[in-house]
Amino acid sequence: MWKAQVLAAARGSHLVRHLIGAMFAPAKEIEGKINDKPVQVSNPAYEEWYATDQQTRARAVNTRLALATAQRGNQTIVEYVGKLRTLSDEMASAGRPLEDEELVEYIITGLNHDFDPIVFILVERVEPVPVSDLRRAWN
C-alpha cells in the first residue's frame, strides 16, 4: 500500500525518473550562436534538471533529520511508530528508501527510558528485527 502512495506522489511531482535513476543530467552547455558564430551557452534543460534534483535531495536531507531527531514524547507507541513509518515513506518517495533495520534503529533511538528493557533485548538480537515485530515486543 505504501508503494502505491509513494509512487502516486512521485508521479504527481514528476520525480519518478529522477528517483529511479532514469533521468540523467543533460549537458551543462549546448552549442548556440552569437552573431552567427558558434558558442557554448548554458543549457536550460540542465538548469531545470538540476533544480528538480536538488529539491529531491533537500527533501531527503530534511526527512532524515526529522527521523534522527524524532522522540516519542507523549505519543502512544502506535502513533510514534506510525509517524516514523510516514517519514520512512517520505524517504522512499525522495529516492532514498530505508532498510527495515534502519527504520527500527530510528524508532528505538527516540524511545524514552521506559522502553530500555525492550530496547536492550532488541539490540542484543543477532538477526535483524522487522518493524512488524516491534508491536509484539510492546504487547
Please state, in angstroms and rounded to a whole number, the distance separating the CA atoms of residues 25 and 56: 14
Structural domains in the chain (count): 1
Full-model pTM? 0.62
Helix (H, G, I), strand (E, B) or coil at 39: strand
pLDDT digits (tens, 9 = 90+) for 9-47: 666 666 666 565 656 778 899 898 888 889 998 898 888
Largest CA distance in the chain: 76
**Is 120 among the domain residues?**
yes
**Is 16 among the domain residues?**
no
**Is 78 among the domain residues?**
yes
- Domain of residue 44 covers 24-138
> What 8-state DSSP symbol labels residue 110?
T
pLDDT: which is higher, 48 or 23? 48
68, 106 in Cβ contact below 8 A?
yes
**Is 10 among the domain residues?**
no
**Is 9 among the domain residues?**
no
